[in-house]
Amino acid sequence: MDYKIELIILPVSDVDRAKEFYADKVGFVVDHDQRVSDQLRFVQLTPPGSACSIAFGEGLVDTPPGSVHGLQIVVADADAAHEELSARGVAVSAVEDLAWGRFVYFSDPDGNAWALQELPHRE
């Protein structure tokens, strides 16, 4: 049996601000933005090339905004990812070289924290 992670819920304080950040600055694709009721809104976005999406909205979770840390995306080129995000206005860290890969870090406006990892070359 396969177990596939396909959706991660992020707690945010302002749904429209988060949607703008992830779509316009980070470059995720907006899949859904549905207001189900006065108490429930569901927004789903997917990173280009990813099988896993993120979602946030109103009435989805009761965890504090910005409390998700350690999210990680694998990229082909950490320098290119750094350059692209910087050009889009995302505050990113310098590229960090570690034995297990090259990393770039950023957070959304609420503080949910991401790492972009370029995997080390394997021979």
Whether 57 contacts 38, CB under 8 Å: no
With contact defined as beta carbons under 8 Å apart, do 115 and 72 qualify? yes
Asked if residue 57 belongs to a domain, the reply is yes
Is residue 65 domain-resident?
yes
Residue 123 has pLDDT above 80, yes or no: no
Domain hosting 58: range is: 7-118
Q: What pLDDT is stored for residue 61 in this prediction?
A: 95
Mean pLDDT of all residues in 51-63: 97
Q: Judge whether 55 lies within some domain.
A: yes
User: Which residue from 7, 4, 3 is spatially nearest to 68, judged by alpha carbons?
Assistant: 7
Is 62 among the domain residues?
Answer: yes
The pTM of the full predicted model, rounded to 2 decimals, is 0.93
CB 88 within 8 A of CB 44: no
CA distances to 29, 32, 45 from 52, in Å: 12, 14, 9
Looking up residue 11, the CATH number of its domain turns out to be 3.10.180.10
CA angle 85, 86, 92 (to 5 degrees): 85
List pLDDT tens digits, range 98-115. Answer: 999 999 999 999 999 999
- For residue 123, being part of any structural domain is answered with no
On whether residue 2 sits in a domain, the answer given is no
Domain count for the chain: 1
Average pLDDT, integer, range 80-96: 98
Residue 1 lies in a domain: no
The pLDDT mean for the chain works out to 97
